[in-house]
A and B are shown apart, each in its own frame.
Chain A
Amino acid sequence: MAGTTESLARFAPELVLSATILAILIVDLIARLQPKRPSLLSGVALVGLSAMAGALWLTPTGDTSLFTHLLAFDGLARYFKGFFILAAALGVLFGHLSDEISRSRLGEYYIQLLCLTLGLSLLASAQNLLMLYLALELVSLPSYVLSGFRWWDRRASEAALKYVVFGGAASGVMLYGFSLIYGITGTLQIDGVAAALTAAATGGQGIAGQLGLLMAVMLSLAGFGYKVAAVPFHMWCPDVYEGAPTTFVAFLSVAPKAAGFAALIRFFVVGFGQPAPGAAGFPWAEILGIIAIGTMTLGNVVAVTQDNVKRLLAYSSIAQAGYLIMALAVGTDEAIRAVMLYLGFYLLMNMGAFFGVQLAGGERLSAFRGMASRNATLAITMAIFLFSLTGIPPFAGFIGKFYLFAAVLSVGEPFFYALAIIGVLNSAISLYYYAKVVRVMFLDKAEEGDGVVEVSRPASALLLALAGPTLLFGVWWAPLADLIDKASSILR
């Protein structure tokens, strides 16, 4: 455990981020009349994020606990911090290039976005149930606000209401679950939970005690499940994605989901999982497996029927979470690394896909008609993102899925074989709706009134900058895999 000074040194990235948020606030106020205010704000945000990345790079790397065991400082946390910095930077760039966010409110948008990022960073490293709860709320509150950012839009306000009520209920249920865990184990530390559980298991608890514990864990799961949009906690997801500004959804569908997975990994693997699966006689692996099956199947099957591309992608992101939970059910180090790798690829392809939808200027499938002839860059990059999401070679998504399935198969038990088979079938289903969008873009002819889609030069560059690595990682993923191999330590 690190003392306060050492803790602060390792907390530098978050401190830099907080300072950036304040700086944006001040700049936003001072430069109120400046014509260049949007660029100035984006510049401050990006410089701040770069400084945060630098701080992350420069912090000492040894694994330790910060602030009397509130936060873990380990490979998992560092990887996800880097992940969130990248996602936030892309979020800022999207915001800067998007016409959905009015220029006069850009500072507001960035402040919310970076507060959210701060919460994400804490969520991925929280080692204490209180910290976990606070971080989750710090993620949720700006998310509610940003979902309803375009408040005059009927759908945006509907999305925000659904989000805030569902999110509030889910986090309340989780809080209740935490209080039960506290009652059963007598501690709020996740690692303490593990010790208390082991003691309880060896002490021979009755079935009633088991029920209490199961209840505690399942209720807690509601909070995580809501963050990653797992069935049956997914209901908010399609509506919020559809109603919220696409610019923000690109970020929302990736970063909070990743943070949810980071927290899930820590919660289950550190607190309950190891030695997984089936620690202390509890069927965690099976439960997660069933959730995974439900999540990917529902996501894919419903996505098939959608003709709103944004909503289609919402269901697709539910399905994607299903694949990840499937690997999480395995809980081995290999599986966790596979999850981290897949999330890395998911960042590129999913943010790219949503950004593409935003640029296309329409959400309906018909808005993509003949896109190949209306804006070739957009059509081609969209096709790359969608094929990568499907998981076909030579795109990054294939490699990510390959590792996920490999991790599941390597358990070698019938349940996991079945899980993997269902996963593969689901991938096959997903080809249908992803390819549907591609077909509309490339094979359907543009009709009267479908003009050329204007995409600014920087936006095209950003699309290509996301599509390039999606392709590159498909054939050469070793650098990222190496990085994760090195940086997947988890403080237990």
Chain B
Amino acid sequence: MIIGLNHFQVVSALLFGLGLLTIITRRNAVAVLMGVELVLNAGLVNLVAISRYQTGGLDGQIFALFGVVLAAAEAVVALAIVLQLFRARRSVDTIDVTDMRG
């Protein structure tokens, strides 16, 4: 079997879906953040694959490089926030984080 664009796109779509599912279903804030990373990476996989198989050039791959760096930065900020959350309320369960609503 020759691995082609379609395969990558299917993988990417699966990543995207699973990432969203993770965000929506997991209660642990750290796990939710992992879901966010999955969603991000789904887009990046798509970009690299399209760049490689369809359009040529390096546009998509450079995009992906930037994307990886950004994902790292975002993870840093997000984890710091989760840490503060834990310090403020001794819990990272998203169910508990509902002081504000309505």
Which A residues lie at the B interface, using CB under 8 A? 129-130, 133-134, 137, 140-141, 144-145, 148, 151-155, 157-162, 164-165, 168-169, 171-173, 175-180, 182-183, 186-188, 238-239, 242-243, 305
Cα distance A144–B44 in the bound complex, in angstroms: 23
CB contact between B87 and one of A137, A151, A186 (< 8 Å): that residue: A151
Whether, in the assembled complex, B78 has its beta carbon less than 8 Å from a beta carbon of chain A, the answer is yes
Whether A186 and B55, one on each chain, are in contact in the complex, defined by CB atoms closer than 8 angstroms, is: yes
Cα distance A169–B23 in the bound complex, in angstroms: 8
Interface 1/0s, chain B 44-81, versus A by CB < 8 A? 10110011001100011011001100100110011011
- Write the nearest CB–CB distance from A191 to chain B, whole angstroms: 15
Q: Which secondary structure characterizes the binding site on chain B? A: helix
Which B residues lie at the A interface, using CB under 8 A? 9, 12, 16, 19-20, 23, 29, 32-33, 35-36, 39-40, 42-44, 46-47, 50-51, 54-55, 59-60, 62-63, 66-67, 70, 73-74, 77-78, 80-82, 84-85, 87-89, 94, 97-102
Cα distance A255–B32 in the bound complex, in angstroms: 28
Whether A172 and B19, one on each chain, are in contact in the complex, defined by CB atoms closer than 8 angstroms, is: yes
Cα distance A171–B101 in the bound complex, in angstroms: 23
Contacts of A177 in B (CB 8 A): 43
Nearest B residue (CB) for A142: B77
Whether B36 and A172, one on each chain, are in contact in the complex, defined by CB atoms closer than 8 angstroms, is: yes
CB contact between A161 and one of B12, B16, B40, B85 (< 8 Å): that residue: B85
CB contact between A155 and one of B51, B54, B78, B100 (< 8 Å): that residue: B100
- Write the nearest CB–CB distance from B54 to chain A, whole angstroms: 6
Known: A157-B89, A158-B99, A159-B100. A186 touches B81 (CB 8 A): no
- Could you list some 22 contacts between A and B, CB below 8 A? A130-B66, A134-B70, A141-B73, A141-B77, A145-B80, A148-B84, A151-B84, A151-B87, A154-B88, A160-B84, A160-B85, A161-B29, A164-B33, A164-B78, A168-B74, A169-B35, A175-B39, A175-B40, A179-B47, A182-B46, A183-B46, A243-B100
CB contact between B16 and one of A176, A178, A183, A186 (< 8 Å): that residue: A176
Whether A145 and B77, one on each chain, are in contact in the complex, defined by CB atoms closer than 8 angstroms, is: yes
Cα distance A158–B84 in the bound complex, in angstroms: 10
Contacts of B42 in A (CB 8 A): 172, 176
Contacts of B97 in A (CB 8 A): 158, 161-162
Known: A155-B100, A175-B44. A182 touches B59 (CB 8 A): yes
Whether B85 and A169, one on each chain, are in contact in the complex, defined by CB atoms closer than 8 angstroms, is: no
Contacts of B99 in A (CB 8 A): 154-155, 158, 243
Known: A157-B85, A169-B23, A172-B42. A183 touches B66 (CB 8 A): no
Cα distance A182–B5 in the bound complex, in angstroms: 13
Known: A168-B40, A169-B36. A239 touches B88 (CB 8 A): no
Contacts of A129 in B (CB 8 A): 63
